[in-house]
């Protein structure tokens, strides 16, 4: 059974419901684009049709689309590439734009930049500058999509034509649900559709999801199916996390809570994956990750086969499986932070992931999904301490970053002393690797400015390289080895003397920790 939100995604602007004014403004923007050449920003709550409108408009106009996700890409490079191509007036298939007015729309590209409200956190990658350049120079229509207009930089806001998508009212949701039922051949009680529309007031996507789960593969839908068989949507995501990670007395209870949330199994998996290490420890964490890996496999099967029945196995794993991995119930309040994919809600995590990404040479998304969880598991509550110091020094983390990764309190002496020790370690290593490169200006001043600009240990290595041909690249090995030395270990720390020999000329990876 296909996902109805995808199956019934509007394919033409006229099918975008409940936002007639925004829709007309958007169409007018596109029709007159050649005269004004402004980018547009579509902003509004999740699930109100912004992304659908952008694609539908492109389809109506016969334009190709180029979609970029601002929070997931090495934005500067990617945007540069697309902006450059757009500026050359070439299409994805390489054909030139036709000059004559009638032919003009053929070969045009609509550049869709999703999550535009996340861009300004990517300062390290020059993402913001790249976007501003794109907005000013692109010779093709550009549409930015954002949930929160005011999270975008002022420069970006003023460069764009603003088009606001409002929450879709229950009154506008009902006809969409009715259409879907008709196309699916599902008999329905009008009251059932109204109930779904009311309980999802504002969010058309979640109404469509609710409809699909209430119908549950049957040929008819009654009010009873919605109120009893269907989800009552009383559980928000934090209630679900509390139930699974802390409170439920049985796997079955956790599973029931999963059915009562308004999230897909993909989203539930992302949430649990992101938050589990804030609550679980040791063996229970390892068991939970096994279930998350299973959930991920089932999600993979859903996408490979388009068989949405597999969703339920993902849900079993992420709720009942993770809950059953727990040794005990827990009380108290947990600061879970924001959604895993909406990094605007967590500036600390953005800073942490962008430092990891920069240092490891990977994308923000990889840093977030594949590196951060390991760091969190390995340095949980700052144990082992040496490793936590080494990590802090390597990524040049501040106290809030260490507290975020380890789950320890930011103001605790433990975290503060780790950050201090890491700072000393960085300075020692910078000195050891720099040779006399900074003799003129004074090493301390350089070390401070390096730390200030968040350039990371790589830069110290590069500077040392240019100074005298020594390979002074600092690796996590050095940092960890130094930490070991301090703890009384006599191991040789080859490579941190700046004498050009040794093993530290490669990129370091996670294995350097061990
Ligand atoms: N106005 C609408 N008219 C018709 N269908 C809609 C509308 N809004 C949302 N939908 C349904 O919800 C799904 C998701 O909508 P879409 O991705 O366009 O929302 P969005 O506003 O871009 O959300 P987000 O900010 O989370 O990306 C669509 O595929 C469609 O099934």
pLDDT for 250 beyond 70: yes
| Ligand 1 closest atom vs CA 53 | 18
pLDDT for 217 beyond 90: no
Residue 181: band (very low, low, confident or very high) from pLDDT cuts 50, 70, 90? very high
- Give ligand 1 pocket residues (Cβ under 6 A): 5-6, 8-10, 15-19, 46-52, 147, 168, 176, 204-205, 208
Distance CA 469, CA 3 (A): 58
User: DSSP assignment of 191-228, as one string?
Assistant: HHHHHHHHHTTB-HHHHHHHHHHHHTT-SEE-HHIIII
Pocket probe for ligand 1: among 3, 51, 210, 339, the residue whose CB has the most ligand atoms within 8 Å is 51
Segment 332-344 mean pLDDT: 67
Phi, psi of 53 (to 5 degrees): -60, -40
Pocket probe for ligand 1: among 6, 15, 47, 72, the residue whose CB has the most ligand atoms within 8 Å is 47
Q: Report pLDDT digits (tens) over 368-422.
A: 878 888 898 899 889 899 999 999 999 999 999 999 898 887 777 899 999 999 9
| Ligand 1 closest atom vs CA 114 | 27
Strands 40-43 and 142-146 come out as parallel
121, 401, 432 from 440: Cα distances, Å: 35, 33, 16
Measure 66 CA to ligand 1 centroid, in angstroms: 18
ipTM > 0.85, yes or no: yes
What pLDDT is stored for residue 82 in this prediction? Answer: 59
Distance CA 460, CA 274 (A): 32
DSSP summary character for residue 341? T
**Residues in the chain, overall count:** 514
Measure 19 CA to ligand 1 centroid, in angstroms: 11
Measure 204 CA to ligand 1 centroid, in angstroms: 6
Chain mean position to CA 495: 36
Residue 113: band (very low, low, confident or very high) from pLDDT cuts 50, 70, 90? confident
Q: Report pLDDT digits (tens) over 450-485.
A: 444 444 333 333 333 333 333 444 445 555 554 444
Measure 421 CA to ligand 1 centroid, in angstroms: 49
Mean pLDDT of the chain: 77
Q: Whose CA is nearest to atom 8 of ligand 1?
A: 49
| Ligand 1 closest atom vs CA 6 | 29
| Ligand 1 closest atom vs CA 165 | 21
Distance CA 283, CA 292 (A): 14
Lowest mean pLDDT among 12-21, 193-202, 428-437: 428-437
Lowest mean pLDDT among 24-38, 44-58, 116-130: 116-130
């Amino acid at each position: 059974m296909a996902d109805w939100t995808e199956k019934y995604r509007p394919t033409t602007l006229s099918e975008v419901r409940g936002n007639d004014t925004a829709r007309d403004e958007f169409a007018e923007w596109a029709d007159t684009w050649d005269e004004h050449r402004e980018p547009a920003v579509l902003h509004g709550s999740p699930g109100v049709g912004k992304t659908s409108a952008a694609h539908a408009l492109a389809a109506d106009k016969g334009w190709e689309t180029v979609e970029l996700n601002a929070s997931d890409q090495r934005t500067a490079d990617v945007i540069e590439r697309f902006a450059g191509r757009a500026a050359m007036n070439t299409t994805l298939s390489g054909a030139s734009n036709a000059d004559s007015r009638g032919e003009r729309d053929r070969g045009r590209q609509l550049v869709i930049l999703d999550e535009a409200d996340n861009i300004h956190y990517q300062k390290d990658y020059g993402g913001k500058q790249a976007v501003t350049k794109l907005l000013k120079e692109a010779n093709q229509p550009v549409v930015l999509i954002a949930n929160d207009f005011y999270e975008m930089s002022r420069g970006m806001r003023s460069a764009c034509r603003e088009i606001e998508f409002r929450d879709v009212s229950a009154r506008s949701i009902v006809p969409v649900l009715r259409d879907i039922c008709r196309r699916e051949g599902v008999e329905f009680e009008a009251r059932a559709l109204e109930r779904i529309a009311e309980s999802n007031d504002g969010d058309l996507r979640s109404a469509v999801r609710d409809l699909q789960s209430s119908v549950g593969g049957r040929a008819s839908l009654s009010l009873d199916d919605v109120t009893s068989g269907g989800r009552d949507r009383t559980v928000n995501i934090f209630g679900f996390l509390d139930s699974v990670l802390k409170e439920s007395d049985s796997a079955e209870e956790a599973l029931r809570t999963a059915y009562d949330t308004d999230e897909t199994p993909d989203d539930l998996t992302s949430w649990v994956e992101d938050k589990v290490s804030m609550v679980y420890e040791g063996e229970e964490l390892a068991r939970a990750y096994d279930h998350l890996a299973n959930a991920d496999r089932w999600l993979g099967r859903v996408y490979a086969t388009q068989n949405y029945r597999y969703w339920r196995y993902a849900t079993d794993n992420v709720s009942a499986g993770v809950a059953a991995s727990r040794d005990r119930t827990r009380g108290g309040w947990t600061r879970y932070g924001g959604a895993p994919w909406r990094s605007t809600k967590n500036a600390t995590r953005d800073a942490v992931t962008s430092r990891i990404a920069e240092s490891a040479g990977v994308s923000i998304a990889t840093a977030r999904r594949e590196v951060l969880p390991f760091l969190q598991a390995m340095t949980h509550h700052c144990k082992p301490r040496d490793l936590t110091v080494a990590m802090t020094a390597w990524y040049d983390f501040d106290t809030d970053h260490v507290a975020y990764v380890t789950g320890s309190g930011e103001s605790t002496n433990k975290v503060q002393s780790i950050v201090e020790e890491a700072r000393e370690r960085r300075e020692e290593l910078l000195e050891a690797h720099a040779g006399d490169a900074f003799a003129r200006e004074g090493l301390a001043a350089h070390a401070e400015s390096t730390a200030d600009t968040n350039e990371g240990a790589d830069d110290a290595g590069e500077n040392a390289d240019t100074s005298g041909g020594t390979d002074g690249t600092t690796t996590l090995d050095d940092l960890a080895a130094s930490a070991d030395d301090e703890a009384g270990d006599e191991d040789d720390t080859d490579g941190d003397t700046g004498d050009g020999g040794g093993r530290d000329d490669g990129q370091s990876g996670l294995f350097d920790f061990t």
